[in-house]
Amino acid sequence: MNGPVNGTVSRVVDVLVVGAGPAGLAAAARLAARGAGRVLVLDREQQPGGVPRHCEHRGFGPPGRRWTGPEYAARAAEAAVGAGAELRTGATVLGWAGPHTLDTTGPEGPERITARAVVLATGARERSRSARLVPGTRPAGVLTTGELQQAVYLYGRPVGRRAVIVGAEPVAYAALDALRRAGARPLAMVTGLPRSQAPLARAQRARLLGGVPLLTGAQVTELLGRPRLTGIRLRRGDGRSTVLACDTVVFTGDFTPENELARRGGITLDAGTRGPAVDAAFRTAQPGVFAVGSVLHAAESARVAAHEGALAARSVLRHLTGPAGWPDADAVTVRTELPLRWSVPNRLTPGAPVAGTFLLRTHRFLTRPTLRVTQDGRTLHRERHHRTAVPGRPVPLAGVWIPRVDPDGGPVWVGVG
C-alpha cells in the first residue's frame, strides 16, 4: 500500500527537478536564473552533487578548471542555490500521485509536491555482480566503483588488500585510484574486450607505471570463497581457465539508467538505452515531463550531463511560458542496428530544436566507422568517422539530416557501413 498516507503535506512549485547531480543542478541553476519561478531540486542522498561527490580525481568543471568531484559538486550546488533554486537533500521521491505530482519523504515527513513541469535527472548506476549473472559464492569483498569510492573517500574505510578490477572503461581507472588510496594492491584489470576503453595515456600509465596488467578477452566465470572473497576464476581468450587469488573485486562500468521513477510513471522508455525516450528538447512522451543526464544515456561525463541540463532548462522555460502543447506520443523513433546499441535523443518531434549531436554507443570497437542513417530504406545521411568508436564512450552523430526525415514515415535507423 504505497498510496498517500495521513499527515502528508502538500505544496506546489513551478519546476520539480528529481536528482541533484550535474544534470539536475545545471538545469535548476539555469531555470532559476531565467525566472522559471519556484524551482525545487530534490536529492535522496544527504549531500548534493551526484556521482562527482565521491570522485576524488581532478578534471571536473569548466574547461581550464581542474576541480575534484567534491569541489565540483559543491560549486554546482552553490550555483543552483545562488540562482534562487531551492535544494533539498535527504528527500526521497516515492512515486507519482498524478501526471506532475510526486510523493516524497524525508526527515520532515511525507510530502506531496505538484509542479508545472517535472525534470527527471535520476542518473545511472553500475550493474551489480548479480545483474551481470556472475556465478559463484556470495562473499564479502565484491563492490562496484560507486560503493568503493564512497567507502574510501566518504567513510575512510579499508576495502581489502589484493584487488582485481573488472572492466576497462575510464571509470575502471577511477576504481584503480580509489583502491590505491585505500592501501589495496590492484593486481589486474580484466576485460572481455580486446583492449582498454580509456584514453591511451591513462591506460598506459596504469599498465606501465602502475604495473597493473590488463587481461583482455577474459571473462569472470566464478567468484570463490566464503565469507570473504578468496579469488576469481577467469576464462581467457584461448579458453584456458585460471584463478586469480584476491580478497576484493570491483565491478566497474556497465552502467544502467536509474529508471524506476520513469517506469513507475508509465513514461515510455527507449528499448536501447532503457532510459526515458526523449526528443532533442529532452521531452519524454509524457506531457510536462522532461529527462536529462545519465538516466538518458548510462553513463556520460558530468560535463555532458551539465551541458544537457542547461539545454533542457531552455526547453522547460519554453514549455512554461509558451503556448500549451506537447508533441504526439507517436513520434518518429531513432533506432540503432548492431553493433550500435542506442542513440540519444531517440524521438524526433515536430517543433523540437534540431539536435546538434546525437550520442551513440557501440558494443565493440569500430575503426574509422561510417555511420549511415536511413528511413524506410531511404538513406538520409552518411558520416565517416576518423576516430575509433569505443564501447562505453560516446560516438557523436551530427543532426544535419533531421530536416530530411519524413514525419509520417517509419523509424529512423542508424547503422554502420
Partner 1 sequence: MTVTTTGPLPNAPYDVAVIGAGVVGTAVARELARHRALRIALVEAAHDVGEGTSKANTAILHTGFDAVPGSLESRLMADGSHRLARYAAETGIPVERVGALLVAWNEEQRAALPELAAKAGRNGRHDTRLLTPGELYTREPHLAPGALGALEVPGESIVCPWSTTLAYATQAVLAGTDLHLGCRVTGIRERAGHHELRCARGVLRARYLVNAAGLAADTVDGMLGHHDFTVTPRRGQLIVFDTLAGDLVRHILLPVPTALGKGVLVAPTVYGNVLLGPTAEDLDDKRATESTADGLAALRAKGRGILPALLDEEVTAVYAGLRAATGHEDYRIRAHPAQRSVTVGGIRSTGLTASMGIAAHVTGLLADTGLVLGEPRDLPPLRMPPLGRRAVRPCRQAALVAADPEYGTVVCHCELVSRAEIRDALAAPLPPHSVAGLRRRTRAGAGRCQGAYCGAAVTDLFERSDAGERV
Q: Hey, which residues between 99 and 158 contact partner 1 (CB under 8 A)?
A: 105-110, 125-131, 133, 135-138, 140, 143-144, 146-147, 150-151, 154-155, 157
Question: With contacts defined by CB under 8 A, how many residues of the chain interact with partner 1?
Answer: 47
| Least Å from the CB of residue 126 to partner 1 | 6
Q: Which is nearer to partner 1, 129 or 162 (CB)?
A: 129
Q: What is the grid cell recorded at 181? A: 588510496
Please provide the DSSP assignment of 58-113 as one string. EEESSTT--EEHHHHHHHHHHHHHHTT-EEEES-EEEEEEETTEEEEESTT--EEE
Of positions 63, 64, 227, 323, contacts partner 1 by CB under 8 A? 227
Window 356-395: contact mask with partner 1 (x via CB under 8 A) = ----------------------------------------
3 by Cβ neighbours in 10 Å (0-12 / 13-18 / 19+) ranks as: exposed
Q: Which is nearer to partner 1, 205 or 233 (CB)?
A: 233
CA dist 369 and 384 (Å) reads 6
Give the residue from 328, 262, 333 showing the smallest Cα distance to 292: 262
DSSP reduced 3-state for 284: coil
Q: Classify the C-alpha dihedral 155-161-166-172 as positive or negative.
A: positive
Would strands 185-190 and 162-166 be described as parallel, antiparallel, or unpaired?
Answer: parallel
DSSP reduced 3-state for 209: helix
Q: Which is nearer to partner 1, 53 or 283 (CB)?
A: 53
Q: Residue 68 carries which side chain, given as an amino acid letter?
A: T
CA dist 191 and 365 (Å) reads 13
Q: Which is nearer to partner 1, 255 or 282 (CB)?
A: 255
CA dist 29 and 107 (Å) reads 25
Q: What is the grid cell recorded at 384? A: 565517416
Q: Which is nearer to partner 1, 270 or 279 (CB)?
A: 270
Of positions 84, 222, 365, 398, contacts partner 1 by CB under 8 A? 222
| Least Å from the CB of residue 337 to partner 1 | 19
| Least Å from the CB of residue 225 to partner 1 | 10
Residue span binding partner 1 (CB under 8 A) among the ranges 1-9, 336-344, 351-359, 390-398: 1-9
| Least Å from the CB of residue 192 to partner 1 | 14
Q: Which is nearer to partner 1, 33 or 151 (CB)?
A: 151
Give the residue from 69, 19, 26, 11 showing the smallest Cα distance to 44: 19
Q: Which is nearer to partner 1, 241 or 379 (CB)?
A: 241
CA dist 187 and 206 (Å) reads 11
Q: What is the grid cell recorded at 387? A: 576516430
Q: Hey, which residues between 237 and 266 contact partner 1 (CB under 8 A)?
A: 256, 260, 263
Is 201 a residue that touches partner 1 (CB under 8 A)? Answer: no
CA dist 97 and 277 (Å) reads 21
Q: Hey, which residues between 40 and 59 contact partner 1 (CB under 8 A)?
A: 44-45
Residues that bind partner 1 (CB under 8 A): 1-2, 5-8, 44-45, 90, 92, 94, 105-110, 125-131, 133, 135-138, 140, 143-144, 146-147, 150-151, 154-155, 157, 221-223, 226-227, 256, 260, 263
